[in-house]
Amino acid sequence: MASRLGFDYCGVARAERLDEDAERLQQWLNRGMHGSMKYMENHFDLRVDPTRLVPGAKSVITILKNYFPSEQQQPDSPKIAKYAYGHDYHDVIRARMKEFLQNIQDEIGEVHGRGFVDSAPVLERSWAQRSGLGWVGKNGNLLNRTGGSFFFIATLITDLELVYDDPFSRDLCGTCTRCIDSCPTNAILPGKVVNGSQCISYFTIELKDMLLPTEMKDKFNDWAFGCDICQDVCPWNRFSKPHEELEFTPLPEVLNLSTREWEAMSEDVFKKIFRNSAISRTKFKGMQRNLKFLKNV
């Protein structure tokens, strides 16, 4: 059923409180690694207990959708994270999740559930690991042994009791530290800890201040929206295959516009081009801020 809707992997775990994850999350928050992302402090109990999100929940279904593109940006284009090349994944996957639940209800009967796509307090990667879909790497991303890490993760919490998959119990990163060594802002720490407040994605998307920290000058490696460095260097992504999702077809502007053309863009043109793109999250002023910061002026 999931594959008919264009999803690449699907796994199921028992809905229960994530006690170990709760402890790690609390320590991460206590260390201030969420920076200005204060929403991470909200709804703590909901994040670690799916039965609070969906009363009577018995199962957590996790699905993965590949977004690895076949196209590459032009060398003089400001770098955009691959997940934002095409149509906003929130819109695409939310619609598929709604259809997924409807299909389950059509086949089984009355089933209650809620689908989540990076839009609610859900620990998606933990549930993916518990569903047997992969392990969490040193860069904090879910790694799938046959497909790498360029996947969107979505979660369906339901009161339907299912057969549960075995958790993925191996850590196949081994002694590799390429993601740690390659991060220009030292956001990836030993022990599978990512300091979110030091990540390029945080600075270029989440941080709303109009002035970026001066100590980060010359450390963004031309990334204007998000960052893929830790994924690009990961050996497991040699298994990444181009997606076949039309909705994720890259916008020509993402692939081809030079820095000068980005800088010359008006706010009206920006809104028109990126109205259905995740790039709209940083807004016109945020993107102009990022471009200016990359020029080191």
- Is 118 a residue of the active site? yes
CA distances from 87 to 8, 108, 247, 281 (A): 18, 32, 6, 13
| Element at 200 (helix H, strand E) | helix 200-201
In terms of Cα–Cα distance, which of 271, 255, 287, 256 is closest to 82? Answer: 255
End-to-end Cα, the chain, rounded Å: 52
Whether 115 contacts 156, CB under 8 Å: yes
Q: Which residues pair with 189 in a beta bridge?
A: 193
Helix, strand and coil percent figures for the chain, each rounded to 5:
40, 15, 45
Whether 144 contacts 133, CB under 8 Å: yes
CA–chain centroid gap for 250, Å, is: 17
User: Distance between CA 192 and CA 138 in Å, rounded?
Assistant: 4
How would you classify residue 159: left for phi > 0, otherwise alpha for psi between -120 and 50, otherwise beta?
alpha
Q: Which of 118, 159, 165, 232 is catalytic?
A: 118
CA–chain centroid gap for 3, Å, is: 20
Name the token pair of 248.
């994720």
Number of Cα atoms under 13 Å in the Cβ half of residue 31: 14
Q: Give catalytic residues, as residue numbers.
A: 118
